[in-house]
Structure 1
Amino acid sequence: MTTSRILVVEDSPDARALLVETLQGEGHDVTTAADGLAARRALAPETRPAPDLVVLDLMLPHVDGSLLLAEIRAAGPLPVLVLSAKDAVYTKVDMLRLGADDYVTKPFNLSELTARIEALLRRAAPHASAPTVLVHGPLELDPQTARVHLDGAEVSLTATEYRLLTVLVERPGQVFSRPRLYEAVWEEPFVGDDAAVKTHVSNLRAKLREAARALDPVETVWGLGYRLREL
């Protein structure tokens, strides 16, 4: 088991202690923040070592978790798993559109939580056997740095968006159904809820369209799924 640095941002002392105990028991190096301001300090560029993943409660004192998530997303592809109460105003789609890579609702099942964290860490980790650069026309993906360039401009993606694009670029022109995309990216069986796939693909397409100035590299094949078009 590989040790990863995880930042837990949670204002409830009991929930925070439970998360720390569980994640440390899985072999991870865990730091905590009890409010949004403390989380900002922990995520500041000058703070080292930087976390490999953030577990983020949305309901935080001082700085709202949704604002903090937007700031994390603006800074780079750091994986974020959001914690949200079942009666919160945010829906699952809202959380994904805010930039979360995954989410767990409270009260959470510890086995599910740790499984989702491990899956996120696997997806975010660079693959040593991957080629130096994946190229598809003007689109370039660097697996070692998880950086994406389109027409020479860098495109800032989340870890999940990057993995989605990698799957499509590795098989250009091939149609992927939502269940197949889910299983390739999330590395777990598809259970019938395709909201996560639709939302992450929508976010990915919006960022690529902006970089490509209207051209949409990802094509919808109605009734079948998605594929990467020729560029």
Structure 2
Amino acid sequence: MSTILIIEDDGAIHSLIKEALTIQGFQTVSAYSGTEGQLLFEQNQVDIILLDLMLPGMDGEELLREIRNHSAIPVIVISAKNDQASKLELLMNGADDYVTKPFDIKELIARINIQLRHAAKAVHSELEEISYKDIRVNLDTREVKVNDEIIHLTGREYAILLLFLENPQKVFSRANIYESVWNEPFFDSDQTINMHISNLRRKMNVQGANYIKTIWGIGFKFD
């Protein structure tokens, strides 16, 4: 049974999410401020985090940075900010998904299940490690090393990296990547994939390494 940390200071929204998740068989941990959320994250073994941005004490963006300094646990941001710039900025800073208020609770649960499937796929892999050139990925701990230097990836970035490592030299279109990682039909703009690829390239650029090649007019391949 998966455990979900809900960090949301609005009591009505918090109760709605908690009740819906409980009905679906999830266990929940509740925090109503950023500081409390950080404490409960450190004290509990949780599988995914639902994170509001406008929180008392430590705000959601600061908390997201703190979480990403220590963990690649999936984080879904829930926010009233609905502009594209805010969404892209949060994704670039480590969020795995973004849900805008007001939201459909069924859609939120579907997105939670997608993130949990991604995490479970890596955990339950028969292999303990995937390596390619100077890259090593521990599938148990989700630790990623490039030239023996640990790099910290979001859940989406990690899933994209595994897709490339399992299919070196294969050319993937943006739609291929989206449908393989998001597990849903490609309906988003190319900008989403471009942003995740850009972040992954930047983080893996250890000692000038460049593993992800752009195939103009088609997509990307790992080399």
CA separation in 2, counterparts of 1:127 and 1:8? Answer: 23
Letter of the structure 2 residue corresponding to residue 164 of structure 1: I
Distance 1:18 1:208, change over 3 A: same
Does the CA-based 8 Å contact 2:82-2:100 persist in structure 1? no
Does the CA-based 8 Å contact 2:7-2:51 persist in structure 1? yes
Q: Secondary structure at the match of 1:91?
A: helix
> Which residue number corresponds to residue 216 of structure 1?
210
> Which residue number corresponds to residue 121 of structure 1?
116
CA separation in 1, counterparts of 2:36 and 2:80? Answer: 21
**CA deviation profile, 1:107-129 (whole Å, cap 9, x unmatched):** 00111100000000111123434
CA separation in 1, counterparts of 2:130 and 2:193? Answer: 22
> Which residue number corresponds to residue 226 of structure 1?
220
> Which residue number corresponds to residue 193 of structure 1?
189
Letter of the structure 1 residue corresponding to residue 5 of structure 2: L
Q: Which is richer in helix?
A: 2
Measured after TM superposition, the shift of residue 87 of structure 1 is: 5.0
> Which residue number corresponds to residue 51 of structure 2?
56
Distance 1:221 1:89, change over 3 A: closer
> Which residue number corresponds to residue 95 of structure 1?
90
Measured after TM superposition, the shift of residue 71 of structure 1 is: 0.4
TM-score normalised by structure 2 residue count = 0.94
Gaps of 5+ in 1: none
Does the CA-based 8 Å contact 2:77-2:97 persist in structure 1? yes
CA separation in 1, counterparts of 2:28 and 2:85? Answer: 27
Q: CA RMSD in A?
A: 1.5
CA separation in 2, counterparts of 1:80 and 1:54? Answer: 5
Q: Secondary structure at the match of 1:148?
A: strand
Match of 1:168 among 161, 164, 189: 164
- Within-5 A mapping of 1:38-187: 38-44=36-42, 47=43, 49-87=44-82, 91-125=86-120, 126-187=122-183
Measured after TM superposition, the shift of residue 88 of structure 1 is: 6.6
Measured after TM superposition, the shift of residue 41 of structure 1 is: 1.1
> Which residue number corresponds to residue 15 of structure 2?
17
Gaps of 5+ in 2: none
Distance 1:220 1:56, change over 3 A: same
**CA deviation profile, 1:52-94 (whole Å, cap 9, x unmatched):** 1000001111111100000011111011000111457962211
Measured after TM superposition, the shift of residue 140 of structure 1 is: 1.3
Q: Equivalent pairs: percent with the same residue? A: 38
CA separation in 2, counterparts of 1:119 and 1:37? Answer: 27
Q: Secondary structure at the match of 1:213?
A: helix
Distance 1:88 1:32, change over 3 A: farther
Letter of the structure 2 residue corresponding to residue 37 of structure 1: T
Letter of the structure 2 residue corresponding to residue 43 of structure 1: F
